[in-house]
Structure 1
């Protein structure tokens, strides 16, 4: 993905300052906004909930002779459509304002729609990671930090691993070609921290022996 320079204060797209000598950008990318809407903003679940609510409302508004009072249904449908539009718009803006960067030394996450935040995650502070594929080549790459390092859950949202609140894990959400990006992260981590073991895979043949294998999940440990 070719980065565009939308933030004039950045030294380079996605980077708050110039890279030190010896450091280079290896990959940059952003979430697929449609997948982000589905997996982070749960648009499908919300739409299903609205559909069920409309069905219940239609049943309650059905007159004894079988006629339906359409006016309340039209109002409710308009409100539900507006809510879904706002949710989709938020997902689109979130993806558009996000830029993930892999260098040969660290992971950089520029996130935020109104308030832009940039997180620098050196490989030496990354204790592990997980890959969760979503189909169509996209997936989430969650980064587990050392216990002494902690980023606020609210600061990361929606770029965090679900259900990890006390020790939030920064996550590259809905990344296209996630398997290839995960392999790049693996190789960069190994090159930077030679002598330590890091593995990535979503099959029993490549998953670490100390981690249970689950379908569509790869582990870095």
Structure 2
């Protein structure tokens, strides 16, 4: 995992901390949908529902000693508070989505994440054990990457949230969250990973003391 703490406007390549090595090319780049991110990772509707419940509970309880209108007026505090909280969640989602760039190349997945503390995760295909697609009816979805635990790549669930598979706390799995047209993106990733893994990693070295022999 590599970290890039410079402002991402100075990136040599959008979403990447350095220029692509020779032979590597970008196949896809994208960002989370801020609206899907707010609903899924920030539980927007659950939070809204909680404050509506508090409003209803206070209104019904207060109606025993005052009129329904007076009770509802007093309880409307919870609706105002809920509206403020939901607005903050939407703002966080917007900032997170804008600061995030997911990149798939022919060799790896790169994730530039974080609004306050920007970092870039470089995930080589040869360290990916499995990729799982979670698809929604809207076409948005998450692609979770199960990494090789022996590959020396450790991740913090807290530091990489919300760009991780939910509830995988012991062995966090980096995830491309709430991306549009996730099925097509998953196909691109699968083809690139299969091609990269099937290519042998050959390194040519010269043994010490061996000199080139003239051709006969």
Shorter-normalised TM range: 0.7 to 0.9
- Corresponding residue for 1:155? 159
The correspondence of residues 26-45 of structure 1 with structure 2, limited to 5 A, is 26-45=27-46
Q: 1:139-184: CA deviations, max 9, x gaps?
A: 0000000113321111110010011001000000011111110011
2:198 partner SS: coil
Residues 55, 72 of structure 2: 8 Å contact kept: no
Distance of 1:51 and 1:170 partners within structure 2: 34
| TM-score of the aligned structures, taking structure 1 as reference length | 0.82
**1:71, CA displacement in angstroms?**
4.6
**1:74, CA displacement in angstroms?**
3.0
**1:117, CA displacement in angstroms?**
1.0
- Corresponding residue for 1:89? 91
Distance of 1:75 and 1:48 partners within structure 2: 15
Structure 2 runs not aligned, ≥5 long:
1-6, 201-216
The correspondence of residues 57-136 of structure 1 with structure 2, limited to 5 A, is 57-64=58-65, 66-67=67-68, 68-136=70-138
Distance of 2:110 and 2:140 partners within structure 1: 19
Residues 113, 119 of structure 2: 8 Å contact kept: yes
The correspondence of residues 156-175 of structure 1 with structure 2, limited to 5 A, is 156-175=160-179
Distance of 1:97 and 1:153 partners within structure 2: 18
- Corresponding residue for 2:12? 11
Cα RMSD, aligned residues only: 1.7
| TM-score of the aligned structures, taking structure 2 as reference length | 0.84
Q: 1:40-60: CA deviations, max 9, x gaps?
A: 111011111111111001112
- Corresponding residue for 2:187? 183
Distance of 1:151 and 1:65 partners within structure 2: 55
2:129 partner SS: strand
Aligned residues: 191
Structure 1 runs not aligned, ≥5 long:
1-5, 197-221
Distance of 1:65 and 1:93 partners within structure 2: 44
Distance of 2:145 and 2:110 partners within structure 1: 12
